[in-house]
Amino acid sequence: MPHALLQLCRSLYRPWPMALLAALAGTFLLAFLGLGLALSQAQEAQREDLENRGERLLLRLEQILGQLRQGLAGLELQPLRHCDPALVENLRQVSFEHRFIHEASFAADGQLCSSRPRHAPAEPARPADFHSRGLDYWLTTTHVADEDPAPLMVAQASFRVSSFRGHLLDALDPSDGLGVYLIPRGSTQALPILAATPPLTLLPGAADSAALQLLDGQPFYALPGGNPDYRLALLAPRAQLLERIREYWERLLPASLLLALLGGGATFWLVRRRLSLHGALQGALRRQELQVHYQPIFHLASRRCIGAEALMRWQRPDGSLTSPELFIPLAESTGQIRAITDFLLREVLEQLGDLLRNHPELYISINLSACDVSAPRIGPLTERLLARHAVRPEQIAFEVTERGLIDLQAASRNLAELRARGHRVLIDDFGTGYSSLAYLQTLPVDCLKIDKAFVDALGADAASSGVAPHIVRMARALRLKVIAEGIEHEDQARLLDSEGADYGQGWLFAGPLSAHAFRALIGGALPGAPAESFPPRRRQPAPGGSGTAGAAPAPRPRSEEPARAPGGWHPAPGRR
C-alpha cells in the first residue's frame, strides 16, 4: 500500500496536475476564508445597523416611559382616592399635559374610572411583565396595526397610565420585521415590546454583552445603556443577515478566484522548475559537473591549517553556478543526495589522497544528510575508498546537522559505527536546530561547529551575542572540541580564541578553494610537519564486533601513548 501511494504521488507530481490541484485547493480554501470574512463583515454591518435603529427607538422609549412615570408621580401627589368627577378631571388633566400618555385610570376597592369615560378603562388581564423601583410594567405583545392602541402600561399603587403604541412605531419601520425587546436588569428574559414572539431566554451573561449574537440564526443585539431598569434589544430577521453575507461574499469571491489562479500558476512554475532541476541534477551527476571545493579550517591560537570542509558546487555547462541551497534540499527530497555523497567521497580521495598520505595530520570533513546517517552504508563505502588510496580513517571526518538527526536512535547507532571505524563526528550549525544537552551527552560526537549567525553576533548589541561563548563553555564541560564558522574579522577570531574555541574557518583565513589552491595553501602553510593539528583518532572496534582488516594498531594504554602536539585534538579519556 505505501508503494502504491508513493507511485500515485509521483504520477501526480507533474506541472499541470499539481497546478490544477493547487488551484482547486486554493479556490476552496480562499472561498471558505472569504465566507468567514464575509460573515464577520456582515455581522459587524448588522450590528451597526441595529445599533443605529435601536438608539432612535431607545430615545423614543425613554421619552414615553419618562412621561408615564411623571404622570404617575403627579397622580400620587394629589389626595383624591375615590372615583368622583374631581378625580376624573385630574386624570384627564394628566393625560392632557403629557403627550405620550394616552389614558390615565384609577382602580381600587371595586372602583374603576378613567380619563376616557366613553371607553372601558384598560385593565391588565395578567400580572405585570416586570417590576422596578415600585412600578409595575406591562409591555406590548404585538405590532399588528389594529391591536390595542394603548398597550404599554405602567402602574403604581391604584393608578395606571398607558401610552399609545403608535408613538413607538414613529421611530421604527414595522415593514423591516424587527422585533423589539426589553431586558430587565438582572434578568435572562428578553420581553417583547414590538414582536409577535414569546419572551426569549438568553444564556447567562448574554444580556450584558455588547456584541451581536445569533439566536436560532437570527441577529440579536442588546444596546448598551445607562438605564438602571432595563436594556433595549432588537431581533432582526435571518434573511437580512443572509443577504448581507451574500453581498460581501460576492465582493470577495472574484479576488479569491484570482488568488487561487495565481497560486496554481505559481505551483506550475515551481513544479516545472523543480522537475527540470531534478533532471538537470541527474545529468550533472552523469556528466560530473559537480565540483568539490575546500573551506580550510585553522587552529585559532597558532593560525595553522589543520584540515578543510569539503563543499559541493554545481557549475553548469554555460558557466553559471547553481546554489547548494537550491539543489541540496532537492537532492535530499528526491534521494539523489546518496549519489552526491558517494561522488563527494570519491572526489575528495581522488583529488587529495596523496596530500593526505603525505600529511597524516590533515583531515577533510564530509557533510552527511539525514538519509546518510539513517542507514549504515557510509562506513563500508568509506572503508573501501580509504583502502584504495591508503588514507587513514581519522583523516576523514563526518559532519551532520542537528536537523539531520531525525531518527535519533538510528543516527546514534550509525554515527557510533563511524567513530568505531576511526572517523570523527562533528555537529554542524550547532544551535540552529533542536539542540538538546541530553542528546549531546548520548550521541557519539567529537566536535561542535558554531553557526555563523552566532559568530556574527559577537560584540554586537544583540540578544544572541552571548550564544557563541556559551556554546564554547558547554562544549568544554562535555570535553568536546569547538569550530567556529564564518569568521570574517580579526576581533572575532581573538574573542573566540580567548573564550576557548579551538578552531575556526571563514573568509578571514580563506574562502572555499579548489583542490589545486588548497594544495598550494598546505604547501605554503605546512613546510614540514605542523605543530598544531588534529591528533590521530585511535580506531575502536565496531559495536558488537572486532576491527576491520587493515586497521590501525590496537590502542595502547594511556601511559604508553605518545605525547600530543600542542593545540591538537585530544579525545577525552573515558568519553562514551
Share above pLDDT 90 across residues of the chain, in percent, rounded to a whole number = 31
Q: Which residues pair with 104 in a beta bridge?
A: 161
In a domain, 405, yes or no: yes
Give the separation between CA 152 and CA 193, rounded to whole angstroms: 8
Residue 325 has a pLDDT of: 79
Highest mean pLDDT among 476-480, 514-518, 541-545: 514-518
Residue 2 has a pLDDT of: 55
**Please, which residues have CB within 8 angstroms of residue 206's CB and are 6 or more apart in sequence?**
188, 213, 222
Q: Are residues 482 and 360 in the same domain?
A: yes
Q: Looking at 232-246, 384-398, 492-506, which range is the least confident one?
A: 232-246
Q: Are residues 98 and 192 in the same domain?
A: yes
Residue 120 has a pLDDT of: 57
DSSP state string for 59-111: HHHHHHHHHHHHHHHHHHHS---S-SHHHHHHHHHHHHH-TT--EEEEEETTE
In a domain, 249, yes or no: no
Total domains in the fold of the chain: 2
Mean pLDDT calculated for residue range 127-154: 73
DSSP state string for 265-297: HHHHHHHHHHHHHHHHHHHHHHHT-EEEEEEEE
Asked whether 100 and 70 are in contact (CB, 8 A), the reply is no
Q: Are residues 223 and 309 in the same domain?
A: no
Residues 54, 56, 57, 60, CA torsion sign: positive
| 569, pLDDT greater than 80 | no
pLDDT band at 8 (very low <50, low <70, confident <90, very high): low
In a domain, 16, yes or no: yes
Query: Who wins on pLDDT, 368 or 568?
Result: 368
Query: Who wins on pLDDT, 391 or 542?
Result: 391
In a domain, 569, yes or no: no
**Please, which residues have CB within 8 angstroms of residue 233's CB and are 6 or more apart in sequence?**
54, 180, 181, 182, 183, 190, 220, 221, 222, 223
Q: Looking at 22-36, 302-316, 496-510, which range is the least confident one?
A: 22-36
Residue 385 has a pLDDT of: 95
Q: Are residues 467 and 406 in the same domain?
A: yes
Residue 442 has a pLDDT of: 74
Last residue of a domain, one of 243, 277, 309: 243
Query: Who wins on pLDDT, 38 or 6?
Result: 38
Q: What is the mean pLDDT of the chain?
A: 80
Mean pLDDT calculated for residue range 225-250: 86
pLDDT in tens, 54-69: 888 888 889 999 999 9
Residue 501 has a pLDDT of: 93
In CATH, what number is assigned to the domain containing residue 493? Answer: 3.20.20.450
Residue 125 has a pLDDT of: 62
Q: Are residues 443 and 319 in the same domain?
A: yes
In a domain, 565, yes or no: no
Q: Are residues 93 and 239 in the same domain?
A: yes
In a domain, 428, yes or no: yes
Last residue of a domain, one of 483, 502, 527: 527
pLDDT in tens, 446-482: 999 998 888 988 877 666 678 889 999 988 988 899 9
Residue 86 has a pLDDT of: 93
pLDDT band at 517 (very low <50, low <70, confident <90, very high): very high
pLDDT in tens, 141-155: 454 544 555 578 899
pLDDT in tens, 66-123: 999 999 999 999 999 888 999 999 999 999 999 899 889 998 888 888 988 766 555 6
* Amino acid identity, position 274: R
Residue 486 has a pLDDT of: 92
Q: Are residues 348 and 211 in the same domain?
A: no
Q: Are residues 26 and 162 in the same domain?
A: yes
**Please, which residues have CB within 8 angstroms of residue 428's CB and are 6 or more apart in sequence?**
367, 399, 400, 401, 449
| 572, pLDDT greater than 90 | no
Residue 30 has a pLDDT of: 85
> H-helix or E-strand containing 503?
strand 503-504
pLDDT in tens, 201-216: 888 777 778 788 888 8
Residue 272 has a pLDDT of: 64
Which residue carries 570542509 as its cell? Answer: 309
Mean pLDDT calculated for residue range 223-228: 79
Q: Are residues 177 and 295 in the same domain?
A: no
Of 565, 425, 416, which is closest to residue 483 (Cα–Cα)?
425
Which domain covers residue 46, as residue numbers? 11-243
Indicate the pairing of strand 396-401 with strand 363-368: parallel
| 348, pLDDT greater than 60 | yes
| 346, pLDDT greater than 90 | yes
Give the separation between CA 168 and CA 147, rounded to whole angstroms: 14
Give the separation between CA 337 and CA 278, rounded to whole angstroms: 11
Q: Are residues 483 and 356 in the same domain?
A: yes
Q: Are residues 512 and 447 in the same domain?
A: yes
Query: Who wins on pLDDT, 144 or 550?
Result: 144
Residue 118 has a pLDDT of: 63
In a domain, 550, yes or no: no
pLDDT band at 292 (very low <50, low <70, confident <90, very high): very high
Residue 550 has a pLDDT of: 36
Q: How far from chain centre, in Å, is Cα 451?
A: 25
Q: Are residues 106 and 187 in the same domain?
A: yes
Residue 379 has a pLDDT of: 92
Mean pLDDT calculated for residue range 347-367: 94
In a domain, 438, yes or no: yes
Last residue of a domain, one of 489, 511, 527: 527
